[in-house]
Amino acid sequence: MPSKSWESVLQEAYANLEEDYRQFLEEDSGYIPDRENYFNAFKTLPKENVKYILFGQDPYPREESANGYAFIDARVKAVFSDKGLSKEVNRATSLRNFVKMALVARGDLSLEDLSQDAIASVDKTVLISSIEELRVNFEKNGVLLLNTALIFTDKKSSSRHVKAWRPFVQSLLRSLEAQQPKLILFGTHAKELKKHLPLESFETIELEHPYNHTFIANPKALELFGPMHLLDK
């Protein structure tokens, strides 16, 4: 169940979904994450603790990855290995660049050498070891990890789901206006959000998507995420 603090907010937001779409969510099972998990982001971060919303687009297109949190791939377990980043992180371009940015922000890496060898030599006894710990650290900093579509069925339906969830996200943002969380928007998705959501009354922080290598050295990313100490145990 979502945290008690979200209960009335989510009820109102959910009621804003089209009736046919609500029926689909309640009666169908051909989507990920399932009904038990697509509200997970609201279960572990109470409403009053939200300081930022990091918007993703939609869930990862794999059952083992989609877990109800934006940006957190449940298939990835370990962050590091003896050789540097774990194979799982190294394969996930956005996560790989994000972790490198966080290591640069900590002063563990220099922008001149972002290699696996350089990462292997970092003292990891003071660092998190799992993707789950990264999620917890985001939430310790008040970051709500929210996709604009809370479910995934197939690639061609992604835009339909984003559109279907729009009234939900609009209602959610209205309920948070007094709280004034900052909105973290990545890449081209930011333009779509600004076009369709009531963002005027919120401070927005726009960054290129972490998929881009330039994200690692972006001063705005380092300034935003550095003080969060996301890799610290």
DSSP codes, 84-119: EE-HHHHHSHHHHHHHHHHHHHHTSSBTTB-SHHHH
Report phi then psi at 54, rounded to 5.
-95, 115
- CATH assignment of the domain containing 166: 3.40.470.10
Residue 1 sits in the same domain as residue 111:
no
Residue 172 sits in the same domain as residue 146:
yes
Residue 190 sits in the same domain as residue 167:
yes
Residue 86 sits in the same domain as residue 159:
no
What pLDDT, on a 0 to 100 scale, did the predictor assign at position 198? 87
Residue 125 sits in the same domain as residue 149:
no
How many Å apart are CA 7 and CA 209, to the nearest integer?
A: 32
User: Which regions in the chain score pLDDT beneath 50?
Assistant: none
Residue 59 sits in the same domain as residue 151:
yes
What pLDDT, on a 0 to 100 scale, did the predictor assign at position 132? 98
Residue 48 sits in the same domain as residue 146:
yes
What pLDDT, on a 0 to 100 scale, did the predictor assign at position 201? 93
CA distances from 111 to 37, 91, 160, 222 (A): 38, 20, 40, 12
The angle at the Cα of 76, spanning 110 to 121, to the nearest 5 degrees, equals 30
Residue 150 sits in the same domain as residue 196:
yes
Q: What range does the domain containing 105 cover? A: 78-129+211-233
Rounded to two decimals, the pTM is 0.96
How many Å apart are CA 6 and CA 71, to the nearest integer?
A: 21
What pLDDT, on a 0 to 100 scale, did the predictor assign at position 202? 97
Residue 40 sits in the same domain as residue 138:
yes
- Count of the separate structural domains present in the chain: 2
Q: Is the dihedral of CA 222, 72, 192, 183 positive or negative?
A: negative
What pLDDT, on a 0 to 100 scale, did the predictor assign at position 32? 98
Strand, coil or helix: 180: coil
Residue 66 sits in the same domain as residue 149:
yes
Residue 42 sits in the same domain as residue 67:
yes
Helix (H) or strand (E) holding 185: strand 182-186
Residue 112 sits in the same domain as residue 168:
no
